[in-house]
Structure 1
């Protein structure tokens, strides 16, 4: 929060300088001691400092300041994009001061360019290369060969993995690998040999994005003789009890594959939920539900920094199977969300059975047989408390429940004005009146994922007619049974900030491409567009592809396919895009290996 305040204050001052015509901009900094300026710049991101140095040549000497640019974070999630020149930035920065380099998911930079830069960074201690074109091959490993390297995150291709490469980074203590291909079971053996040769290894994080030849994580953990932390994420795997290694199971999840985090603790700690005083947690324990909170909250509880009665949760995931959906469980969830523990909640996943609908009174206009509900009624005290407690929420995922149908909760979303990410599963009989209000009130919304259950023409029409109200929307995933491409692109043509688009349907009613061209012209920053039509003919796909490539930029990834499963079988699309947009899995209370490893 302090860093955010400093950053906002600093750039508001610069903006005031730039808009002032009577005073020279540089004169403001002439009266500011260098010590104070350096202290402020230490709180800013790498890109903020670089932009500042570009604006004011007088401060070009900052490129050599160890306290400011010893840690260079140019990851995709940190705002680095194609408008910046990686080689120019690294050319300006003094290579001797750099100890940390993070270029995670910067997939567009050539491997030769990255290698050339890495060879100059002789004092590198931490290196994050996941999602780049540099891996663990001999050529790549030689570029970051160093005995000073302590922390390494890298993407592994099966054909590149050799245990002999450990000699190039022998003192690595923390290793994170993302495995993007496995041809056979020998990958397990070669990975074990690599781990065995890293004698100083105390942390091992593995993210297996493939769905073939599952790894044996028991043996991998056993191979690391000094492991204090072991974490993995895979599509298919068995959870292990690693007590034989002295590792305590801190976090497990099955919400988006198999995820687990183990750590060696000085003292044993009981399951935090057993210490809860609230009856709601006792209900969850009795029903044997999965842990709803994420890794960060689990660590606080296991470390003894707080307890289940006092903790302020960061994320909670209450997705559940039909056999769990009962009044006891629903009331327990409500109690937890309305408690003081949830006032600073940032991420939340729910099902729509949480709030029941109130039927309108029967009348001549509303016969008994018609199911009509009053969704415009003011919030009750109970619902107001529910909404107020979620005022800080940034990411919401709302799924349908197959046992109880609830529409009222969709109308609560408009009150969550700080939302940036929204995932919705739409019931077959829900119209899109609420989505218009969401677009009008949630001005910070950047990412929207919508999955319409079965055929729902009413929602489809309301959705594309309201799209123009979502002024800041950048990423859209829209999955529906039947769609009119002309209508959806009519709505999208009013957008100007789109960066990624994924559309999936089984049938297409209207195949016009006029508004598709208008959409592409209005959104020059669009870098990914995928259209999946399950019943499409080859002629239809060719026509779509031809019209999508009206923009001849090689860096843009535009695809028209019959099945999205092609993206899990070695198709050349960055894992970042697949994980963020194409994959239907939840992103709440799960283990994001790349981010968690870097933030440790």
Structure 2
């Protein structure tokens, strides 16, 4: 929601999550002057990481009727001065460092200010050896909690959270959602009446969902054969995935529906993810993937993550006595069937053959795409980029990954970028990059909607800064600029950093970095959590997205 420019807003639900319109505004003053704040019941400020802590605290003091606060990746936390502002809340989503739970907080503070809390989302950004003591004190006082989401994103400290202790303390818990980048043991909460209806691993994270469900006994979902005898291709495809013991590809809501009904024929998929930890590039696995995507159940699909295996052509067909080879691309049927798609992640499979290159131009037929991540094989020249960006004119997020030297692909991307009129987020990972050409292309985007750029490469073919300076002069709205260039000299990176710093102008929202190694820096820099989708190979498709907590 864009509230800027309105004279007065009457709203019970004030949602400004990741809204850069407030970069130059004092949020507290803005709401006081433009919004009837006494009406606000729900406030969503997720990802407003740049707003001063005292400003946020002053805002909460004014919102006397606030009951639901979503404040992930903000400067609010669980310090004592924060907690006393949560006394009216029924719903709270917050990010916290482990040290914030180490303060000598009297448990009575939790008891007196969090007793109304029924729904709680806790994002733990950084743990501490004594962190678990603070966690125990906190949850011991949240005895009335009914729904709990926990996201442990700190994989630098290997010990998992003691979820068993937490669940044992929460007698009225009806729903538990866990997401963790730390490997956690098998968690069975059947003794507490909680059924696990969803579990998936996506590279760096594992996600689980439990709920108190009205079923006859709670049984391990993975051990139940619910479709035999098979009547449809979709049921047979479901069984293929089970035999591979891979995560089922659909989202938690469909998992819950299937768990309760033991049927799959009538479900309508919204999200499907066929890109797992393990690489299954076999004929039956690929066929099962295609059966999922060509079924009537996928006609309303919005989000899809797949490997390039699905782009392979069918086997050669010889017609009659003439040895004429004809290839069929079932991917075309998938594009036509899933015509409503808004998000696509297409990641490379090393086992796939070169016949996939003819299928990439079909992506441009998804006219509704808003989010696109493409991992490009080294033999693909990128000729399809121009048509794709022109056709997908709603595209807001574009991430291109190419790990090999591929100058034709780079040139075709530079050629296409000026037509990305609605692009807000751009990420490019490649072997080599011509910074001058790329920023010359980005300068030609006249809409000035671009906000975040992430570049990860080994070296650059050009070291001059003129095009970058021209771009930053013309695009003062840029909030994130991150260069990770592993084989460039320290002096060049320093010049690059100095150039960007000139345009930061003490703006706390602007994050400009030039580094050799992105991974170590990102892991230790908390602000990047708000931008992690630009450089993280994890996905939110068909798994748990913490920003869906409400």
Q: Tell me, yes or no, if the aligned pair for 2:73 and 2:527 is still in contact at 8 Å.
A: no
Worse-matched range after superposition: 400-409 or 472-481:
400-409
Q: Tell me, yes or no, if the aligned pair for 1:315 and 1:589 is still in contact at 8 Å.
A: yes
Pick from 138, 150, 161: which aligns with 1:194? 138
* CA deviation after TM superposition for structure 1 residue 219, in Å: 2.7
Q: Distance in 2 between matches of 1:233 and 1:562?
A: 30
| 4+ aligned runs moved over 6 Å, structure 1 | 358-361
Determine helix, strand or coil for the equivalent of 2:237: helix
Give the aligned partner of residue 532 of structure 1.
Answer: 484
* CA deviation after TM superposition for structure 1 residue 439, in Å: 1.1
Q: Distance in 1 between matches of 2:169 and 2:429?
A: 43
Change over 3 Å in CA distance of 1:409–1:223 after alignment to 2: farther
Change over 3 Å in CA distance of 1:132–1:273 after alignment to 2: farther
The 5-angstrom pairing of residues 198-213 of structure 1 reads 198-211=142-155, 212=157, 213=159
Q: Tell me, yes or no, if the aligned pair for 2:226 and 2:263 is still in contact at 8 Å.
A: no
Aligned: 1:151 with 2:91: yes
Pick from 556, 571, 574: which aligns with 2:525? 571
* CA deviation after TM superposition for structure 1 residue 142, in Å: 2.1
Q: Which runs of 5+ in 1 are unaligned?
A: 1-44, 55-59, 64-68, 362-373
Give the aligned partner of residue 229 of structure 1.
Answer: 175
* CA deviation after TM superposition for structure 1 residue 107, in Å: 1.6
* CA deviation after TM superposition for structure 1 residue 323, in Å: 5.2
* CA deviation after TM superposition for structure 1 residue 491, in Å: 2.0
Give the aligned partner of residue 57 of structure 1.
Answer: none
Q: Deviations over 1:201-247 (max 9, x none)?
A: 12111111211133232333223232211111111122412212211
Aligned: 1:126 with 2:73: no
Give the aligned partner of residue 429 of structure 1.
Answer: 379
Q: Distance in 1 between matches of 2:18 and 2:529?
A: 12
Change over 3 Å in CA distance of 1:80–1:342 after alignment to 2: farther
Give the aligned partner of residue 492 of structure 1.
Answer: 442
Determine helix, strand or coil for the equivalent of 2:291: helix
Give the aligned partner of residue 385 of structure 1.
Answer: 333
The 5-angstrom pairing of residues 73-472 of structure 1 reads 73-76=15-18, 81-82=22-23, 85-92=26-33, 93-144=35-86, 146=87, 148-161=88-101, 162=105, 164=107, 165-167=109-111, 168-184=113-129, 186-211=130-155, 212=157, 213-238=159-184, 239-256=186-203, 257-268=205-216, 271=221, 274-275=226-227, 277=231, 278-304=235-261, 307-320=263-276, 324-357=280-313, 382-405=330-353, 406-472=356-422
Q: Deviations over 1:573-599 (max 9, x none)?
A: 242112x21222223112112x2221x
Q: Tell me, yes or no, if the aligned pair for 2:49 and 2:527 is still in contact at 8 Å.
A: no
Q: Distance in 1 between matches of 2:24 and 2:342?
A: 27
Worse-matched range after superposition: 219-228 or 505-514:
219-228
- TM-score of the two chains, using structure 1 as the length reference: 0.81
* CA deviation after TM superposition for structure 1 residue 497, in Å: 2.3
Aligned: 1:482 with 2:436: no
How many residue pairs match? The answer is: 518
* CA deviation after TM superposition for structure 1 residue 157, in Å: 1.7
* CA deviation after TM superposition for structure 1 residue 544, in Å: 0.4
Q: Tell me, yes or no, if the aligned pair for 2:274 and 2:307 is still in contact at 8 Å.
A: yes
Q: Distance in 2 between matches of 1:281 and 1:317?
A: 13
Change over 3 Å in CA distance of 1:236–1:138 after alignment to 2: same
Determine helix, strand or coil for the equivalent of 1:455: coil
* CA deviation after TM superposition for structure 1 residue 462, in Å: 1.6
* CA deviation after TM superposition for structure 1 residue 383, in Å: 4.6
Q: Tell me, yes or no, if the aligned pair for 2:143 and 2:169 is still in contact at 8 Å.
A: no
Pick from 578, 582, 586: which aligns with 2:539? 586
Give the aligned partner of residue 37 of structure 1.
Answer: none
Change over 3 Å in CA distance of 1:136–1:323 after alignment to 2: closer
* CA deviation after TM superposition for structure 1 residue 542, in Å: 0.8
* CA deviation after TM superposition for structure 1 residue 435, in Å: 1.3
User: More helix per residue: 1 or 2?
Assistant: 1
Determine helix, strand or coil for the equivalent of 1:114: helix
Q: Distance in 2 between matches of 1:253 and 1:472?
A: 33
The 5-angstrom pairing of residues 24-103 of structure 1 reads 47=2, 53-54=6-7, 60=8, 63=10, 69-76=11-18, 81-82=22-23, 85-92=26-33, 93-103=35-45
* CA deviation after TM superposition for structure 1 residue 419, in Å: 0.4
